[in-house]
Structure 1
Amino acid sequence: MQQASDAISELDLNAYVDEQLDDWQRLRVEDHLARHPEAAARVMQDIRLRRELRLALAPAGTPTGAHRAGAAQLSRALRRDERIRRAIRLVPVGLLVVTGWLANEGFGPLSVGKVVASQAPPPVVSAALSAREASLVRLPMRSQPQASRLDPAELRAATGILLPRFDRDWTIRDAQVFPSPQGPGIEIVFDAGDLGRLTHFAVRTGSFAVTMPHVETHGRENVAWFQIGETAHVMIADRGDVASLLGIAEQLSSTLY
């Protein structure tokens, strides 16, 4: 009998997970997985993640009590975020300027510290900032090779990370697998027009979540983050405003559904 499984590639495995193969091709892949337990475990993990995303994002026919409770919690969070954004848009600019000045100067009950965030950033943000610092040191060095070609399928096969669809007008300066406390992550450095030097860092956190994009300022850089499934994504830009970066984060997150 011909050893059909020897011809199986990572692209075949990804197509198997995405249910893009016919019955004969699926048999070939399953024969390969029967001979390679490590590949089988990775494929089963990808299938589980795909099903979790499908269940989380698709409307349920007959929801259970747990599903209804989770949906209610997500609905409250979405309404809260929308109310906050609507309120911010309605606040007069002059009032924001005065309030910010009073808070910065430390007058009265408005006194706050130098850094105030509406939501505490997850640990992956620290890993992304460390990766960016390393990349900014590495890029000017002639002795450090840079990878300007991006192969999402190869990176997913090696790390299990699904990347979003980036803007085609962005220029890739470097793409590296970077270590982090959460495990191997992918850092990509772009020249992104009005956003300047933008880095995208993605890593599997080990826990499932669907988190709306958030953005805040760290020093002179704007940082946005969100999580879809088990993968968290962080973007850091050295130019532009927080609204522009938040819009980019929302666009990228929608390409992962």
Structure 2
Amino acid sequence: MMQTESPAITEPDLDAYVDNQLSEAQRSEVEAHLARHPDLASRVMRDLALRRDLRRALAPPPLPRPLLGAARRLAVARRRDAQLRRMLRVVPALMLVGLGWLAHAGLGPLSVTEGTAATPTPVTAALSAHQVSLLRLDMVSQPEVSDLDSVEMRAATGILLPHYDAAWTVRDTQVFPSPQGPGIEILFDTPDLGRVSHFAVRAGGFDVTLPRLHATPDHDIAWFQIGETAHVLVASGDHGQPLLDAATRLLDTLY
């Protein structure tokens, strides 16, 4: 029994086959035709290989593995920040202030003893980072890094930095170890507060703490926590209220 010839296959049909523009039924007809014409089949195979090579050549290069990992961490941090902003819009600011007042006054389940709240752990780590930053300024073998790349910092640590006053000049930036993990220490020269450092670290738990002051014999400290990140400003003494105001302005940029 003779096999009937399929409908005539034209050059445009072959081009459409190479460009993957045919239906399954049409592709089957072309492939049956190519099976009976090895010379055409060889040419089509070359065209398919050329199309594949062109597609590979024109495709954007893949990200190196370190950059791919950083991009994934940045995406996770952005999702976490978006969730936090939604939560902050739901919780009234007045409620946050009221809860902080109850904790400070020692009322209800939020009560904290003076000894427990005296020196929060991020404050202790911030003081250590501040002292190390000042030490680095006097060391020739430890050059300062004044180029602050907040995007790279966030990708590496998951910490979202606030927007700083344009009058603050960055003197040094470094990743500093702490009991909670890597933190970011930035040393500034400021026109009103003198030399100020900002230390940010993931605190190990979710909380919302409005800016508050903490003093030592040598330093004034203003700190707050927003979500999982604690932020601490450290300056020399006699700058309590201006430092607290600066912390409040930094907090406002994180909403």
TM-score scaled to structure 2, two decimals? 0.64
- Distance of 2:237 and 2:228 partners within structure 1: 29
8 Å contact 1:195–1:240 — kept in the other structure?
Answer: no
Q: What SS does the aligned partner of 1:6 have?
A: coil
In structure 2, give the amino acid aligned to 1:56: M
8 Å contact 1:197–1:239 — kept in the other structure?
Answer: no
Q: Please, which runs of 5 or more residues in structure 1 have no aligned partner? A: 14-35, 60-70, 84-115
Aligned to 1:54: 85
In structure 1, give the amino acid aligned to 2:194: G
Q: What SS does the aligned partner of 2:132 have?
A: helix
**Are residues 1:78 and 2:76 paired?**
no
In structure 2, give the amino acid aligned to 1:242: G
Aligned to 2:167: 169
In structure 1, give the amino acid aligned to 2:85: R
- Distance of 1:9 and 1:195 partners within structure 2: 42
In structure 1, give the amino acid aligned to 2:152: E
Shift of 1:122: 2.0
Aligned to 1:185: 183
- Distance of 1:41 and 1:123 partners within structure 2: 29
**Are residues 1:45 and 2:45 paired?**
no
8 Å contact 1:195–1:239 — kept in the other structure?
Answer: no
1:77/1:39 Cα in 2 relative to 1: closer, same or farther (>3 Å)?
closer
8 Å contact 1:52–1:229 — kept in the other structure?
Answer: no
8 Å contact 2:159–2:229 — kept in the other structure?
Answer: yes
8 Å contact 2:217–2:237 — kept in the other structure?
Answer: no
State the identity as a percent. 48
Shift of 1:42: 2.2
1:58/1:77 Cα in 2 relative to 1: closer, same or farther (>3 Å)?
closer
1:213/1:134 Cα in 2 relative to 1: closer, same or farther (>3 Å)?
same
8 Å contact 2:222–2:244 — kept in the other structure?
Answer: yes
Q: What SS does the aligned partner of 2:122 have?
A: helix
- Distance of 1:186 and 1:166 partners within structure 2: 14
Residue among 139, 142, 146 paired with 1:141: 139
8 Å contact 1:186–1:202 — kept in the other structure?
Answer: yes
Pairwise mapping of residues 202-213 of structure 1 onto structure 2 (< 5 A)?
202-213=200-211
Q: How many residues align?
A: 190
Residue among 130, 133, 136 paired with 1:132: 130
In structure 2, give the amino acid aligned to 1:223: I
Residue among 54, 62, 73 paired with 1:6: 62
Shift of 1:124: 0.8
Residue among 101, 118, 121 paired with 1:120: 118
Q: Please, which runs of 5 or more residues in structure 2 have no aligned partner? A: 1-54, 103-113
Aligned to 2:240: 242
- Distance of 1:169 and 1:128 partners within structure 2: 22
- Distance of 1:58 and 1:169 partners within structure 2: 30
1:82/1:205 Cα in 2 relative to 1: closer, same or farther (>3 Å)?
closer
